[in-house]
Structure 1
Amino acid sequence: MKKFVFFTILIIISIILIALRGFFLNSFYDVPNITTLKNKKITIIAHRGASGHAPENTLAAFTTALDMQSDVIELDIHLSKDGEVVVIHDESVERTTNGFGLVKDLTLSELKGLDAGEWFGSDYKGENIPTLKESLELIKGSAKVLIEIKTGRDGFIYTNIEKKTIEIVNNLEALDWCVIQSFEPYYLQTARKYNKEIEIQRLLFSDYSPFPFFSDTEFKAGDFVEYEVGYTAINPYFMSLTAGKVNTLHERGFKTNPYTVNKEDEMKKLIAMGVDGIITNYPDVLKGILDEIP
């Protein structure tokens, strides 16, 4: 009985703490008035292309992002069964296509046979999964490209995906406008071995989670040892940022581009904190805010 009471109290306390966290996150700073925002350059980063307006990680989404004058187009890559670098977010194809299975178990031909657009809307029926090469050939330096190297299911590491990515970037002479980012440090360190000039950025999960194993403990503890390998930016989940953390990152020489920010008030808060860029599904919304800054 005592154990039951103890665990009941513990659960109640946890619920209260989580609720208070939400309250204080909204109370620590109000949505700034547009006239109080800094007149500084904020990089507009289109998440999986303009994925709020077109099916994510498709050429249609990238074209829309360019039309909306995005500074950077973010995309995700996996390896197909036959070793082709393809652009898709998930390790499986179910969510964003009419197919089934893991990307790593399907050939490029099989992946190309899937419809990657109709799930978003009938106007996009026939959009397919692009390769990284096709995506870069479309963008052609009209915007920078932030290439996120993904892991497969259960943290599966794709063999040579960094090498293949660097080869594609080099062959297209796209080094000046391509950046590689990942949650997986191994990919970033290996990419640098293949080309020391490639810009690399580190993605982080939230460090506000009540569960320590969901946190990036190195960032939370302020231990930047791993980050001395040449990262130009540390890109965390936006809810984990405070003005103090932004300042700390800047003092350490890092830029910061939080993800994924889709509401105007959240964008304004982050701009007021001094972030360098914002990753969003709605680059047009962010541009509208920036255009209003006097």
Structure 2
Amino acid sequence: MGTSPSTTLVIPGKPRPYIMAHRGNSIECPENTLAAFRRALADGADILETDLHLTADGEFVCIHDATVDRTTSGSGPVGALTLAQIKRLSASYGRAGFEIERVPALREVAALLPPDVALALELKTDRFLEPDVCRQLVATLDECGIRAQTVVLSFSLSRLQAVQAAAPDIPTGLITLNNPTPAPPVALLGPLWPLLLLNPFYVRQAHRQGKVVCPLDVQSERRARLYQRLGCDAMMSNDPGALARALGRTPPPT
């Protein structure tokens, strides 16, 4: 992966559009678990997307919500629980056969990441406005050896700017629900997919600015041909295997 807007999602040896696994394969497995990420890799995902929170003892964990209530057997805010407390909870999301799954730490997901697969981290808390937290995130990525494979995402431009202040080389991506023009000063744009219908020149305009586009659409397999015609650089899905099939790709050998 490169560091300029035009090369944010250049993954050597992988054809565009890249397949982004939204919370792993969250159709076949509980979302944001190691099982979901392993399945997504087996499906041929080029990018693993996950969500990032900070525990009470300062550990980065991959969970979407601000509380553990919806996806685990416990309750309470993620930020009020230690990593050890969170690790006691099942992250099966009530699905049989996945009871042993736990909320993974960022380091655990990093350990799964092949060298030719990128990691997209959505910053889910304003803790990422704190310079010390951003520096800690960068240090963790360095320790895990995945800094060059990482892009940070958010609905908040301020969070992205805080990370960029700590590490200007890490690409940033802004997710938007209502802006039909590719104006934000980031390398990657994630517009809610109907915005591409509202402005069919969105991708072309983004490319002229050296930006790449991945529509916010967790069922991209339903609209894969549209996104290909528009020239989208990546597509996301809760079911990366279905998206791979829609793109006519075969899964990697196991």
Segments of structure 1 that go 5 or more residues without pairing to the other structure are 1-39, 208-218
Task: Decide whether aligned partners of structure 1 residues 138 and 112 sit closer, same or farther in structure 2, where only a CA change above 3 A counts.
Answer: same
Segments of structure 2 that go 5 or more residues without pairing to the other structure are 1-14, 250-254
After TM superposition, give the deviation of residue 223 of structure 1 in Å: 7.8
1:59 is aligned to 34
1:178 is aligned to 150
After TM superposition, give the deviation of residue 263 of structure 1 in Å: 5.7
3-state DSSP of counterpart to 1:74: strand
Task: Look up the equivalent residue of 2:221 and give its one-letter code.
Answer: E
Pair 1:138-2:91 in alignment: no
TM-score w.r.t. the length of structure 1 is 0.74
3-state DSSP of counterpart to 2:247: helix
Give the root-mean-square deviation of aligned CA atoms: 2.1
Q: Which has the larger radius of gyration?
A: 1
Pair 1:112-2:83 in alignment: no
Q: How far apart in 2 are the matches of 1:163 and 1:238?
A: 33
Q: How far apart in 1 are the matches of 2:41 and 2:222?
A: 24
Task: Decide whether aligned partners of structure 1 residues 147 and 263 sit closer, same or farther in structure 2, where only a CA change above 3 A counts.
Answer: closer
Q: How far apart in 2 are the matches of 1:145 and 1:246?
A: 22
**Residues 136-156 of structure 1: CA distance to partner in whole angstroms, max 9, x if unpaired?**
01224351101111126xxx7
Alignment of 1:100-249 (within 5 A): 100-119=75-94, 121-151=95-125, 159=130, 160-205=132-177, 207=178, 219-220=179-180, 222=181, 224=183, 227-228=184-185, 231-242=186-197, 243-249=200-206
Equivalent of 2:239 in 267, 282, 287:
282
3-state DSSP of counterpart to 1:287: helix
1:26 is aligned to none
Structure 1 outlier segments of 4+, above 3 Å: 156-161
Pair 1:96-2:71 in alignment: yes
Task: Look up the equivalent residue of 1:94 and give its one-letter code.
Answer: D
**Residues 5-32 of structure 1: CA distance to partner in whole angstroms, max 9, x if unpaired?**
xxxxxxxxxxxxxxxxxxxxxxxxxxxx
Q: How far apart in 2 are the matches of 1:127 and 1:289?
A: 29
The alignment covers a number of residue pairs equal to 233
3-state DSSP of counterpart to 1:125: coil
Retained in 2: the 8 A contact 1:50–1:65? yes
Q: How far apart in 2 are the matches of 1:249 and 1:171?
A: 33
TM-score w.r.t. the length of structure 2 is 0.85
Task: Decide whether aligned partners of structure 1 residues 223 and 257 sit closer, same or farther in structure 2, where only a CA change above 3 A counts.
Answer: closer
**Residues 221-268 of structure 1: CA distance to partner in whole angstroms, max 9, x if unpaired?**
x483xx33xx22111122222322222222222110012331633222
Task: Decide whether aligned partners of structure 1 residues 83 and 41 sit closer, same or farther in structure 2, where only a CA change above 3 A counts.
Answer: same
| Larger helix share, 1 or 2 | 1
Retained in 2: the 8 A contact 1:93–1:102? yes
3-state DSSP of counterpart to 1:76: strand
Task: Decide whether aligned partners of structure 1 residues 146 and 157 sit closer, same or farther in structure 2, where only a CA change above 3 A counts.
Answer: closer
**Residues 120-171 of structure 1: CA distance to partner in whole angstroms, max 9, x if unpaired?**
x21111100111011101224351101111126xxx7664432222111111
Task: Look up the equivalent residue of 1:125 and give its one-letter code.
Answer: E
Task: Decide whether aligned partners of structure 1 residues 192 and 158 sit closer, same or farther in structure 2, where only a CA change above 3 A counts.
Answer: closer
Retained in 2: the 8 A contact 1:162–1:187? no
Pair 1:270-2:227 in alignment: yes
Q: How far apart in 1 are the matches of 2:38 and 2:116?
A: 10
